[in-house]
Amino acid sequence: MNFQKICVLGLGYIGLPTASTFATNGLRVIGVDVNPRVVNTLKNGQIHIHEPGLRTLVEAAVKSGKLTVSPTPEQADAFLIAVPTPFLENQDEEYEGRKYKLADMRAVISAAEAIVPCLRKGNLVVLESTSPPRTTLDLVAPILERSGLRAGSDFFLCYSPERVLPGQIMRELIENARVIGGVTPESAKAGRDLYAVFVKGEIIETDATTAEMVKLMENTTRDVNIAIANEFSRLAEKFGVDVWEAISLANRHPRINILSPGPGVGGHCISVDPWFFVEAAPELTPLIYNARRVNDEQPHFVVQKVKQAVGDLSGKRIAALGLAYKPDVDDLRESPATEVVHILQNEGAQVKVWEPFKPNAVMEGIDMAQSLDAALLEADLLILLVKHTEFINFDPKAIAAKTTARLVVDCVNGWDAGSWSKSGFQVFRLGANKLP
Ligand SMILES: NC(=O)c1ccc[n+]([C@@H]2O[C@H](COP(=O)([O-])OP(=O)(O)OC[C@H]3O[C@@H](n4cnc5c(N)ncnc54)[C@H](O)[C@@H]3O)[C@@H](O)[C@H]2O)c1
């Protein structure tokens, strides 16, 4: 199939790089977003998200006249949906005492509805948003069929998961293998023809529900694997073992690869997507459910660790290092570090946070320091929450000169306990001290 013009609905971390890449590869692209701020920013030649290499690409796409932005879609050969799919806040359901979260599919529904008046025979529609199993067949197809056309026979319909790593999106979009699930084999073939415009990685055709499961299985596997590492950290403390040493020894086994424990799991993918399985089949997902719970409880375990170091938290001054959901990124969404800070504060501690990747972030109820020194100055304890490269390169002697604190809680195995001890700190490491 030959594509001349496409509409990309949703111009965020996924949609904007995708739209721009199609445009710089010669397609006429209408980028659609319901947020007027996004549309205006792009129309003014600016971009609203931070991703290395994206600005240059968007500039090239706009300059060539191939990428234009609009609040509404128009007739095209293909439509891509890359809108958010978070979970609904405070609307949990319950199955046999297990409370689980529900996917918020409102953006996917409204994007599909917006396509209906533009849809013509022979068009292709691709859902890229991470979605619960059977969304393409049971939610998106019936909406699009309000056009009077039938999915699979009058128009092609696919699900294609996005698996790019923030920070590497521009490269991975092109080089990663891409799974394309069609509601019919002909739909998958049409999807292949579209992505072959720029994808250099392998393109694999399958059915739509398999493609939806692939994405959820990837993120759920990571969540469950991190949960077992977190549970090992608790067991190691109970038995007086250093979990980091134990993991590195276990990983010498050729078929074992245990991940690292930490203060929890965050971000908008791994801590969200497993819920889509639980919602779709709560009776079949006790393991996935419990892994989510273990990871969500880990910030409380970390706070117990702080209490072990400093005793009663009331009035204690704590310098928290890092707030991002993972090392060396500026993304604070669903961050477990934020949860740790809130719990410490609820127990009476005064916490100052230093996040070098977003020093000016405004976070409700969180005291962001304007510099590392301001966070450290009058602290009783330092807590390392994120393994930013900048933090793990700290010289403990230099830090000792900047702070009154002599207690350190390291939640990510970022610091060498020996050299911090030599510099006058008493070091407590997650998964490495015996609980009293
Ligand atoms: N960001 C990632 O690293 C990543 C990786 C893999 C998968 N995903 C998935 O991709 C999807 C998009 O994620 P994102 O990070 O790009 O989201 P985002 O929040 O960065 O951007 C989504 C954009 O869609 C717009 N939007 C909302 N409803 C719309 C509608 N009805 N029509 C048009 N635009 C609409 C929003 O205004 C926003 O600008 C999600 O399902 C996410 O889970 C994201």
Is the Cβ–Cβ distance between 43 and 70 less than 8 Å? Answer: no
Atom number in ligand 1 closest to CA 13? 16
* Alpha carbon nearest to ligand 1 atom 25, residue: 10
Q: Whose CA is nearest to atom 3 of ligand 1?
A: 166
Give residue-wise pLDDT tens across range 147-168. Answer: 999 999 999 999 999 989 888 9
The CA distance from 362 to 368, in Å, is: 8
305 catalytic? Reply is no
If you measure from the C-alpha of residue 36 to the centroid of ligand 1, how many angstroms do you get, rounded to a whole number? Answer: 15
Residue nearest to atom 15 of ligand 1 (CA): 13
Q: How many CB atoms lie within 10 A of CB 134?
A: 16
Ligand 1: centre distance to CA 128 (Å): 9
Please write the tens of the pLDDT for every residue from 232-268: 999 999 999 999 999 999 999 999 999 999 999 998 8
Does position 436 have pLDDT exceeding 70, yes or no?
no
What is the model's pLDDT at position 403? Answer: 96
Per-residue confidence at 434, pLDDT binned at 50, 70, 90?
A: low
The Cα-based distances of 185 to 98, 125, 145, 153, 196 in angstroms read 38, 14, 19, 11, 16
The rounded Å distance from CA 415 to ligand 1 centre is 36
Model pTM score: 0.93
Q: Is 215 a catalytic residue?
A: yes
Stated as kind and residue range, the H or E segment containing 382 is strand 381-384
pLDDT at 433 over 90: no
Q: What percent of the chain has pLDDT over 70?
A: 99
Please identify which of the residues 269, 316, 326, 387 carries the catalytic annotation.
269
Nearest CA to ligand 1 atom 1: 13
E strand intervals along 20-177:
28-32, 67-70, 78-81, 93-95, 98-100, 124-127, 156-159
